[in-house]
Structure 1
Amino acid sequence: MSGLQRQFAKAKLASYPATMPSAPPTFNEADEEEEADSFNPEISDIPQGDDDSSSASSASSASSTGTIIPSSNQKLFARPRGRTLEQIPWTTYFERELFLESKTEASTVIHHAYLTSPVGKAPLFVTHHGAGSSGLSFATLTAEIRKRLPSAGILSLDARGHGSTTVSPEGEASDLSLATLSADLLTVIEKTSIQMGWEGLPSLVLVGHSLGGAVVTDVAKGGKLGNAVLGYAVLDVVEGSAIDALQSMHTYLSTRPSGFPSLESGIEWHIRSRTIRNSVSARTSVPALLSYDENAKSSRPWVWRTDLGSTQPFWEGWFIGLSKKFLEARGGKLLLLAGTDRLDKELTIGQMQGKYALQVFPEAGHFIHEDLPEKTAMVIVDFYKRNDRSALVLPPKVSDMLRAGKKV
């Protein structure tokens, strides 16, 4: 380098600041969250949880709770600016809502359900949610199923003590035993058929998430729906891991917020805690989980509609014997999990023997059908098509061929 070049370089360097950054600037999550939260300042004081399940029947494990897939081209934890948290109404997904009255000597139940009727000989997918959820937990899955089977029907109920289903006297609503929930599901299916004027039950595919998986399995095992049931699908629950998870339920419930300042903040908490990893589904399903307490003295009047802690006496009864019933009930069998670690010994052996279909979505949390509605719908629709008896074409009988004058 010549003397002239050295003088030029020294003069150029002198014009720069005294300190230079040693690395490219890094993304500051706190700064991004502060900017993104500006539209709703009420949210900042709500504790954030790490558990990915708002259901007492969660079979979640550490592997699924912390599943995060890095991306090199986007800010992983940054919320999209301007994203709305407004509620999406149920009418976006279903044709009508039903209020089905059922009376016994002890109580009167008004079962609430969402329905889109099947067309022609199309199947009816009957869905049952997990503890603490509602029928709207399956709303986004409904839309994806009907994209692939436009004539299919969907019946999604609110279990007693959940959603808009009411029981009088109120004390009867606390009976969430497996036998009671299974009887309720049968009642909803029967009364829906009567109210809609169906000549008979359409082909049924039962779909249950968590606690709902135990209910649809129990109904399938009971056989009261006869040959109408083509098959049943259980989402992210198996006996062994579900019972193990119950040991930590009180810890989880104690760390969950007791209420929220608004519906939007409730939706926000579910998304940010990764309880539900799909904002569209959260905007649809979360409002049905909360109710406004007019007498609330705190700044968080939106409280949980279902008291999960009070359901503890029924927890083990939901899941004991689930694996055995799942393998023995008549009809096609499908198990969707968020991780293979959930399989217990009995189901592992059954899977190796080809007794049921298994699909694993490691990128999802406990709410598989809400996190990945498109992928879940693809699997469930394929499951239906494999078990659809109407698609079978049997060869003609020899006697019929002879009667028609054909050579055999």
Structure 2
Amino acid sequence: MSELQKSFAKSKLANKLSRRTPPDALSASPSSPMYSLNEEQGESSHDEEYSSASSTGTIIPSPSRNLFARPNGGRGSSQTSLSWTDFFTQDLHLTQVDSSTKTRITHHVYLTPPADSGGPLFVMHHGAGSSGLSFAACAEEIRKLLPKAGILSLDARHHGSTEVTTCTNEGKADEPAAQEDSSALDLSLETLNRDLVFVVRETQRKMGWDQLPDLVLVGHSLGGAVITDVAKSGDLGSKVLAYAVLDVVEGSAMDALQSMETYLLTRPSRFPSIASGIEWHTRSRTIRNKTSARISVPSLLYEQSPPTDPTKPWIWRTNLSATKPFWENWFIGLSRKFLDARGGKLLLLAGTDRLDKELMIGQMQGKYQLQVLPEAGHFIQEDQPAKTAQILVDFYKRNDRSALVLPPKVADLQAQAAMKKGDGVGMGFAAGSMKRV
């Protein structure tokens, strides 16, 4: 190639690059934002929430698009844990003493109070083995759609940061109740019912609310059984506006119990780090949303000291195998209670195959609202937090009493008709009297 041809080719290439790529991108150094973006994409290329932008050399950013911003609001690597403070405004520790069993329970709850304008309070109860942070991502989405709403998400006893201690007769310091021994656990439905009612009432007292806001009870799996039992018992009174059960029905739950022990034997019993625990949950598709896994999984594990296996010191906080004596107690009679309890009813499932006969009949009779998210797994609120939040907010709005203009009662209409009839008789009598005069 002649020198003239080489010069022509170089000038043509330079013109093409200047039209397609901004000067600052061409001069990017290894420490520039463009390189940090590529590193972040390499870590999160499989995350469904993040879009791909691998061809950065051909993208011209506009002032309205922050092309080089870290994905997901700068929340870091897809394997790093997130803080609960990104999703709730405060947490509470509520102490409950049971003198009959000589136990002290310090309930831990995550809370974002409702607005003073009278917003509802969504009360969330997680499933077995989970924690209150199972609803963190969903809570964030609810607040986006309904800023006046409040969220209360609790850690059940022997889950998350809720502590159960046994009081000694000798006046010694309380000792944690062992979770390895099922006899030390009390996770019966009746106990979990009392715990939920206590948490709601004690939160009201601690926050100084004159009265409870309208309540929407939301429960996932075991939590669905608990909130349904509370709604049926009426222990929270008329403030329970509605209740929603996520991916649990009596028939399929009882069938699943047969394979529960097999599942527990197949999952890892310990992890080398929190990050590896998050990775296992997402790779196994136990939780399909990485953001939700990063906030919820760390609360499921704790570092054993001293560790049985120094290479894998992180173990499950809740020993699910020890809860086996309560499995049937949680779900027997669930469908009937769900249909009979007062208030609006929502059943949100990952598949219609989970419906049992009683619920199928109730659904055909229009006794409750049914929503299906087939793209989600069992942890619906974690896999699809935005869609779950939209369904819950719409569900609340359909049951919001303040938005209803109720027709007058029949007795009031009859009284009004009688008064009008009496006035007509009186006027007629007076007119007749005047005519006779």
TM-score of the superposed pair, with normalisation by structure 1: 0.77
| CA-to-aligned-CA distance 1:85-138 (integer Å, 9 cap, x gap) | 111100001010100001121211100000000012100000000000000000
Where in structure 1 are there 5+ consecutive unaligned residues? 1-34, 40-68, 75-79, 401-408
Matches of residues 229-378 of structure 1 in structure 2 within 5 Å? 229-298=240-309, 299-378=311-390
Residue 127 of structure 2 corresponds to residue 130 of structure 1? yes
| Contact kept in structure 1, 2:78 and 2:291, CA below 8 Å | no
Letter in 1 for 2:372: V
| Contact kept in structure 2, 1:110 and 1:165, CA below 8 Å | yes
| Contact kept in structure 2, 1:166 and 1:173, CA below 8 Å | no
In structure 2, the residue matched to 1:159 is 156
Partner Cα distance (1:192, 1:283) in 2: 27
SS at match of 2:366: coil
SS at match of 1:175: coil
| CA-to-aligned-CA distance 1:41-91 (integer Å, 9 cap, x gap) | xxxxxxxxxxxxxxxxxxxxxxxxxxxx9xxx99xxxxx9x9531111000
| Contact kept in structure 2, 1:221 and 1:326, CA below 8 Å | yes
After TM superposition, give the deviation of residue 174 of structure 1 in Å.
Answer: 1.1
In structure 1, the residue matched to 2:140 is 143
Partner Cα distance (1:104, 1:251) in 2: 35
| Contact kept in structure 2, 1:97 and 1:113, CA below 8 Å | yes
Partner Cα distance (1:366, 1:300) in 2: 27
After TM superposition, give the deviation of residue 158 of structure 1 in Å.
Answer: 0.3
After TM superposition, give the deviation of residue 173 of structure 1 in Å.
Answer: 5.9
In the alignment of these two chains, the number of paired residues is 332
SS at match of 1:131: coil
Q: Which has the higher contact order (CA 8 A, sep 6+)?
A: 1
Partner Cα distance (1:393, 1:221) in 2: 26
| CA-to-aligned-CA distance 1:124-172 (integer Å, 9 cap, x gap) | 0000000000000000000110011001000000000000001111158
Where in structure 2 are there 5+ consecutive unaligned residues? 1-38, 54-70, 167-176, 417-437
SS at match of 1:234: strand
| Contact kept in structure 2, 1:112 and 1:157, CA below 8 Å | yes
Partner Cα distance (1:201, 1:305) in 2: 32
In structure 2, the residue matched to 1:43 is none
Residue 130 of structure 2 corresponds to residue 118 of structure 1? no
TM-score of the superposed pair, with normalisation by structure 2: 0.72
Determine which of 218, 222, 225 is the counterpart of 2:236. Answer: 225
In structure 1, the residue matched to 2:86 is 92
After TM superposition, give the deviation of residue 224 of structure 1 in Å.
Answer: 1.1
Partner Cα distance (1:184, 1:130) in 2: 14
* Cα 1:264–1:211 shift into 2, 3 Å: same
In structure 1, the residue matched to 2:105 is 109
SS at match of 2:110: strand
| CA-to-aligned-CA distance 1:233-261 (integer Å, 9 cap, x gap) | 00000000001001001111111001100
| Contact kept in structure 2, 1:167 and 1:173, CA below 8 Å | no
Partner Cα distance (1:149, 1:84) in 2: 28
Partner Cα distance (2:350, 2:132) in 1: 21
Partner Cα distance (2:198, 2:232) in 1: 16
Partner Cα distance (1:376, 1:202) in 2: 22
| CA-to-aligned-CA distance 1:247-297 (integer Å, 9 cap, x gap) | 001111111001100000000000000000000000000000000002113
Percent of aligned pairs with the same amino acid: 66
Partner Cα distance (2:151, 2:308) in 1: 40
| CA-to-aligned-CA distance 1:283-336 (integer Å, 9 cap, x gap) | 000000000002113111000000000000000000000000000000000000
Partner Cα distance (2:159, 2:360) in 1: 33
SS at match of 1:354: coil
Residue 222 of structure 2 corresponds to residue 211 of structure 1? yes
Alignment root-mean-square deviation, CA: 2.6
Deviating more after overlay: 314-323 vs 101-110: 101-110
Partner Cα distance (2:108, 2:301) in 1: 16
Matches of residues 379-394 of structure 1 in structure 2 within 5 Å? 379-394=391-406
| Contact kept in structure 1, 2:348 and 2:371, CA below 8 Å | yes
Structure having the higher Rg: 2
SS at match of 1:377: helix
